Amino acid sequence: MDKTNYSVARVETYTKTSITKAERHNERKNKSYSNMNVDLSQTPNNIHYKRCETTYNEKLKELIDSKQVSLRGLRDNAKLFDELIFDINSDYFEKHGGYEFAKEFYERAFHFAEEEMGTDNIISAVMHADEINTALTEEYEKPIYHYHLHVVALPVVRKEVKWTKKCKDKSLIGTTKEVINQVSHSNKWKSDKATDSQGNPLYNKKGKAVLIKSYSLLQDRFFKYMSDSGYKDFIRGVKGSNQEHLNDLQFKIKKDTERLEKIVNKVEEKESSYNSYMKYDKQIEDISSLGKQKRFSKKIELEQEDYEHLTQYAKKGIVADKEIYELNSRIDNLRNAVDKWKSLYDDIVEKTKDYFHAIKLAPQKVANFFKSLFDKEKQDELERQRIEQEKIQAQRKAREEAREKEKLEKQKLKNSPEYKKRRDDRDAR
């Protein structure tokens, strides 16, 4: 049974300072990577749909200097760069044509990013094809790479700048002075208001509008765009899925185990070397038999050559002892790390085994079940919010009616003969 494939679209934000790390990763400017899945021999296979010929910050300065974008009013540590990351399970590409299919797929995804961010606001767009998927590589017994797309762009919105009271021509105050392309992450990714089935806005218990997160809407738009473009056999990413996390744990456990085995081998080599250090060239079985005791003294006499050999091997033994101690300490640390990852891995496997077994047996049924479950939960929440909204509106209406009734009673009292008489008496005094 084929695995279910999920589309993912997520956003990372960066300042002028923090973007440099993402740039080195995306553009493969490092000589080595903490992510041990990166195979630099495959880096030439990475595809740039838009290449940044300078650095990301230099490109930003170029756009500012040419007045294509503005940072007006932003702090020095403001989030200026958005990185959109598009991804689908590696197995999806392997089943549909591999590298060539991935290039076409992500070229289309890049056009989606152009519509979302604006072509001129995109600084770089690169498909990575050099990160190996260890789990699938073992399953297929050949190198399988994790194809995904990184798009770095500026979150730009059009902003009208108004004339202020400082303007000498008072007739211009409040009118549009200029329209600029303002970099603003918060305004670019505003959440939408949730509505009921009749299109009326929903409110929570405190009377505040219920919002739908902008990144969730991005996920919806990406899935629809790629589906409408003819790409099938995948569904929108399921919220809370831990499949990628599970694979990552498997990978870390595997690498920690490999490092542990290497350390153990080194210890064995050092122990072997240590044993060889303690062997005299003359093949003396017991080092205590070296030398002879002086007459009428507790001191031992040694031949010069024996003394030199003895001091040489003593020094080597001390060095070997130190190295073995350090390696044993590293082994203990690695064993603790492996035990920790294994415990976490076993816990996740135990909690999700029924889910993954069901996915294996009937992926579409499971997907449909969760979809219906989430739809029902959403409908229940909408219904609850509708009832709560009606309750709030009823309470508001009751308060307004009470105030109106009180107002009428006060007016009626003012018009009564008794009130007029008291007022006349007060005026007479």
Residue 226 has pLDDT above 60, yes or no: yes
SS3 content of the chain, % helix, strand, coil (to 5): 55, 15, 30
What pLDDT, on a 0 to 100 scale, did the predictor assign at position 1?
46
Kindly write down the DSSP assignment for every residue of 344-387, as one continuous string. Answer: HHHHHHHHHHHHHHHHHH-HHHHHHHHHHHHHHHHHHHHHHHHH
Residue 31 has pLDDT above 80, yes or no: no
Closest by CA position to 317, among listed 291, 262, 280: 280
Share the mean pLDDT of the chain: 82
pLDDT-derived band at 293 (thresholds 50, 70, 90) equals low
Exposure pattern of 29-66 as b/e (b: 16+ CB <10 Å)? eeeeeeeebbeeebeebbbebbebeebbbebbeebeee
Q: Which residue has the higher pLDDT, 70 or 345?
A: 70
Closest by CA position to 153, among listed 68, 92, 74, 77: 68
Task: Answer for the pair 113, 82: CB distance below 8 angstroms, yes or no.
Answer: no
The tens digit of pLDDT for each residue in 179-224 reads 889 999 888 888 888 888 788 888 888 888 888 788 888 988 999 9
The tens digit of pLDDT for each residue in 9-27 reads 999 999 999 999 999 999 9
The tens digit of pLDDT for each residue in 379-424 reads 888 888 888 888 888 888 888 888 888 888 878 877 878 877 777 7
What pLDDT, on a 0 to 100 scale, did the predictor assign at position 54?
93
DSSP 38: B
Please report the sign of the dihedral spanned by the C-alpha atoms of residue 256, residue 257, residue 259, residue 263.
Answer: positive
> 108 exposed, middle or buried (CB, 10 Å; 0-12, 13-18, 19+)?
middle
3-state DSSP call for residue 426? helix
Helix axes 56-65, 19-26, angle to 10 degrees: 120
Q: For the whole model, what pTM was predicted? A: 0.56
Cα 147 to Cα 223: distance, rounded to the nearest angstrom? 17
Kindly write down the DSSP assignment for every residue of 59-92, as one continuous string. Answer: HHHHHHHTTSSB-TT--TT---EEEEEEEE-HHH
What pLDDT, on a 0 to 100 scale, did the predictor assign at position 80?
94
